[in-house]
Structure 1
């Protein structure tokens, strides 16, 4: 949560309100606090923390079960603290068995996250749109969702629990198995069912028709792209776009680095000229230096403002 700004409702309650107000709720993915701030500034009603984005941005490594619970929960906490929007966070497999899942849910709730999704892959897991996935057996998977639901109910019943199954595209998997698992996870206490990796619009329609509860949809990778109206017609409750911001960042940084290598340091000057014309082009204002000066005026001795006299650089605006 940002300094000096509070919210009375629990994060999960605010996410549930957003889900009720938007049919479907379209949520972009972020990978750190900065990207979350940008998405909030544009005006989205909620955010999603990408596990792939967390692994790649923090470690420079693929989404292959290499990021730890500590790293994921910390990233979730930092993002949730930086924005006012409710945040859904990827929690991978829960980082172990049902006992580990119980601790993961508690960590995420106490981090200020509004909701999380757990998947039924064998550890180490991998991105749901990469071949070679395996899933744990039904009984273990259902037990993990039961554990997650019990902790949610004990600590914060408003927290949104999303159960993901990778059975559609895993080794030996099928749509029939994925739908069975989605319904079993809902019966075990999940709030939404997430069938990863449908390969066609017909499969998405089959999921929406057969799953006995709200459907969470990941529109990326091999899954088909659909308009908001198409998703509404099918009855999708929530749709995430997890990797777009990360890919946009990768592309922009790579293009800038290429220009810098080819044209030298004046390429940075040209970039800065164009950046300053962008809506977020004043980096110091966007990052919050004006807010820092407002807090200084409110809480520090008046003479502390003299440090601004005769100095060079961005001059934060005092409170009006």
Structure 2
């Protein structure tokens, strides 16, 4: 069963999946260890983690795919990857989809922002015209079809940020066209109220994703409400990074006074990283411990 098939099966369930977002292999591994069924590589968090810079189109295609590959190597749950604007024209979008599939991702997100893109909950967003937006999704779907003809698979997560500049109706119209073009999952970014979220889900077919940024534009609703509204996935792109950064800053400040509280036990830290599994497996190749 491919990762794309696993993701399709999850989306067929009558529920809203809580999806903590990762930013590197370790954060993804912790998500999987805690029993979550899927994760998303947040572009915001990956940019902060990998290059220590904001998510303003500074990471290259190669860097993002490499980050996704490392994550996929560390987990067995489906990864949804952030493909930004596709890194160029429609042909670049095709390469982006194929590259993430080869890296092991189950899905890739393609959006309609102008390049360089911005985080969906920060100022200065602008979107391309309808025709260019539709061409990106058409190219992504064509790349998926080519993958399937060769025995591969990939889900297309189509995102629109049109709500910010052009209003909710334009965002819904774009997402509806994305679905007609063959997108598997729809993502209308930054609706500003529960009523807007309900309007989005009522108007659009198929699986929809909510993006919950603590302190962002979209209401932070309980999971049962999100399911009732009609979402299949609730993504939390910055929760883990915000928690990790807060813990690190608190610890760094405390170390000045010889205080190091709330640390993970060294034994659990080793286990979660994989030392115990490594040593157990490596014993199979220790001739001194094998029976003769």
Structures share fold, TM-score greater than 0.5: yes
- Residue 231 of structure 1 corresponds to 226
CA distance in 1, matches of 2:137, 2:14: 26
1:259 matched residue in structure 2: 254
The 5 Å alignment of 1:173-192 reads 173-192=166-185
Residue 208 of structure 2: aligned partner: 215
1:101-154 CA deviation, whole Å, 9 max, x = no partner?
A: 000000000000011111100001100101111111111111110110011111
- SS of corresponding position for 1:99: helix
**Correspondent of 1:302 among 275, 287, 291:** 287
**Match for residue 316 of structure 1?**
none
Q: How many angstroms does 1:281 deviate by?
A: 5.1
State the match for 1:311 in structure 2.
Answer: none
How much has 1:187 moved relative to structure 2? 0.8
TM-score by length of 2: 0.93
Following the alignment from structure 1 to structure 2, what is the Cα–Cα distance between the partners of residues 55 and 11?
A: 24
Match of residue 125, structure 1, among 100, 117, 121: 117
1:161 corresponding residue in structure 2:
156
CA deviation after TM superposition for structure 1 residue 22, in Å: 5.1
How far apart are 1:23 and its partner, in Å?
Answer: 1.0
User: CA–CA distance in 2 between the matches of 1:301 and 1:174?
Assistant: 65
| Residue 288 (1) aligns with residue 288 (2) | no
Distance in structure 2 (CA, Å) of the matches to 1:92 and 1:137: 16
Q: Which runs of 5+ in 1 are unaligned?
A: 1-8, 307-320
Paired position in structure 2 for 1:317: none
Q: What is the aligned partner in structure 2 of residue 150 from structure 1?
A: 142
Q: Distance in 1 between matches of 2:225 and 2:264?
A: 36
Query: SS at the partner of 2:72?
Result: helix
The CA deviation at 1:238 is 1.4
Q: Which protein is bigger by CA-based radius of gyration?
A: 1
Q: How does 1:74-89 map to 2 (within 5 A)?
A: 74-89=66-81
1:202 to 195, 200, 203: 195
For normalisation by structure 1, the TM-score amounts to 0.85
Kindly report which structure 2 residues correspond to 1:5-84, keeping only aligned pairs within 5 A, or say none: 9-21=1-13, 23-84=15-76
Q: Shift of the alpha carbon at 1:301?
A: 4.2
Give the distance between the partners of 1:161 and 1:40, measured in 2 at CA: 22
CA RMSD of aligned residues (A): 1.7
CA distance 1:47–1:201, change in 2 (3 Å) = same
Q: How many residues align?
A: 285
